[in-house]
Amino acid sequence: MNQPPKYSKHIRLDNLRAIALVIISLILIAGCTAKYGSLKQDAEVQQAFESNRLPMDYKYFYYGDSEPYVLFGIEPRYEMDSKMWRDIAPDTAEFEDMTRWIWEDYGYYKFGADILDPNGIKVGIMYTAIRETSVKFVGDNQIVVIPNTPFLWGPESGGGGGIRVP
């Protein structure tokens, strides 16, 4: 008689562990392959913001209020789809004031940076004091800029800060 082989619980657990490991590995690999850009600090970019001599063909955005946390400009081919960011024209008195009053605090000092795409190609510029900023590229022409600002969320956030709440 042909009887199917008996499987022990031990062999089934090993198979489940192997499958779980493969699934977890695939999830981690998928997360690591996201299209993230980077920032490259550049003193010339800082000087361009501070002297208001910026590329006029870029689209400019800010995060915050009249004393923003971040100002940046991106090439016209990119789109921003966020309620967090507000657009602003660089050739206005309001923009010039924002540049002068960009947020900084002890340990956080203003700097300029090039925004680089995942291939290292410059696609914009940024002026901020927040070094922990992620730049993610979504789709063909969508860019997402995410400054890490837990110190601004207030003491209830558990971020340990509370300097000011936007």
Each of the 166 residues of the chain gets a pLDDT tens digit; together they read: 566 555 555 566 666 676 766 677 666 555 555 688 999 999 999 999 999 899 999 999 998 887 898 999 999 999 887 788 999 999 899 999 999 888 877 778 899 999 999 999 999 999 998 888 888 888 878 888 888 876 555 444 444 443 433 3
Q: How far apart are CA 123 and CA 87, in angstroms?
A: 17
Strand blocks (E) in the chain: 38-41, 59-63, 70-74, 86-88, 111-116, 122-128, 133-138, 142-147
Comparing C-alpha atoms, which of 120, 126, 131, 155 is closest to residue 35?
120
pTM over 0.85, yes/no: no
Beta strands 70-74 and 122-128 are antiparallel
| Residues 46, 111 contacting (CB under 8 angstroms) | yes
